[in-house]
Amino acid sequence: MSETSIKKTAQNLLELADVKINGSRPWDIQVQNEDFYSKVLSGGSLALGESYIDGWWDCQELDQFFARVLGADLDKKIGLSLPVIMNYLRAKFTNRQKKNRAHIVGERHYDAGNDLFQLMLDKRMIYSCGYWKDAQSLDDAQEAKLDLICRKLKLKSGMSVLDIGCGWGGLAKYAAEKYNVKVVGLTISKEQAKLAQDLCAGLPVEIRLQDYRDVVEKFDRIVSIGMFEHVGHKNYKTYMQVANRCLEHGGLFLLHTIGSNEGALKIDPWIEKYIFPNGVVPVYKQISNAAKGIFEIRDWHDSEGLDYDQTLMAWHKNFNSGYGLIKQKYDGQFKRMWNYYLLCCAGSFRVKKNTVWQIVLSKKGPDIAYESVR
C-alpha cells in the first residue's frame, strides 16, 4: 500500500469519529511526522500512544479525541494488532498476577514517586473515582466517596477493618478518625507504605507491605478500593476465598472496582506497557461467578463511569498546573505519557466503555439484613 493510500485510509477512519487530520477543532489531531499513519495502522493503540509520547502528533484536547475515537469503535474497525493479540493470549493462558509477580505494578506505577501523586490527588491522597453528586471540588468528591463507603459498610466504633490495597492510607485514616475503628491496610508499594504510615501516625491503623493472600486474621469488615483491577481473572476465586476466610460471620465486604462494559480480557497494550503492567478490568460475570458459593451479593452500585471522567479531568488539571514543581524529576516525555494516560481513560469513561462498581457482599446465610445506601 502506498503512503498516499495509507494516509487516506487513516483519514477515512478518523472521519468516522468526526476527527480531522490537521483540523481546527480541539479534538482534531495535528500530525508532525508522516510515518504516523503506517505506524498506527499496523501497531494499533500501542503505536498510537508511543507516537504521541515521541511527539509525532498532537491534539489540543485528548479527552475529546478519545471520546470520539472510542465511541466510534475505531479500534474494532482497524482490526486486531499483534500487541493486542499477544496481550489477550498471555492473559488467557498465563497467570500474570500470581503472588511472585504482584510486586511489579507496585514498583513500576505506585512507586513512581509520592511527589507526583501528592501533586495530582486530593488532600487525602485517594487514587480512585470520586463521588461528585453534591461535590464542588476534588477534595469534596473524595471525602463524599469515603463517607459513602463507610456508610455502606455500616461501621461502628470498635470494629476491625481490613483494607486490601490501602494506597496511601486515605480510607484507613478517615475511618479511624470518623468511626473510631481499627484498620489494617495492605499495599504492595513501598512508597505508598512509607507515606501511609506517616499520614496515619497516632491512629489505630497498621499499614503492611503484604500480599492479600498472606492475611490470616479475621475482621468485622473488609474493604477494597481500586485494587481488584490488579488481581487477574485467574485469581478472582482465590481473592474471594481469602476475603471470606478473613471476614467474621455477620460481617460485610465492600469491593470498589472499575468494571468493563466490553468483552472479558480486553487489555489495552499501551496501558499494559506504560501504566498498569498485568492489569485487567473485570466484567460483571467474572465477579459474580467468583463470588458464587462464597459470598452473597447484597448490593451492586453502578456509577456508569461519569464520576471517574470528572475525577480524571481534575487529576489532569492538578498535574499540569503543578508540573513546574516536579519537572526536574519528570521530563517532557513523561509529561506527555501521563497526560495521555489520564485523558484516554477520561474519554473511555465518558463514552461508558468502562464503569465503576461498588459491590457489598456478605457470607452466605440468612442472618444479615442489608439496606442499600446511596
Summarize pLDDT for 236-287 with one digit per residue, the tens.
999 999 999 999 999 999 999 999 987 655 678 899 899 998 888 999 999 9
Determine which one of 59, 246, 344, 345 is catalytic.
345
Please check the confidence at residue 83 and state whether its pLDDT lies above 70: no
Burial code (b: 16+ CB inside 10 Å, e: under 16) for 271-289 equals bbebbbbbbbbbbbebbee
pLDDT at position 81 is: 52
CA 319 centroid distance within chain: 17
Which domains, and CATH codes, for the chain? 3-79 (no CATH), 101-363 (3.40.50.150)
Q: Reduced to 3 DSSP states, what percent helix, strand and coil does the chain have, rounded to the nearest 5?
A: 50, 15, 35
Is 344 one of the annotated active-site residues of the chain? no
CA 45 centroid distance within chain: 18
Summarize pLDDT for 91-144 with one digit per residue, the tens.
444 555 566 555 666 676 787 899 999 999 999 999 999 999 999 999 999 999
Please check the confidence at residue 348 and state whether its pLDDT lies above 90: yes
CA distance 196 to 186: 10
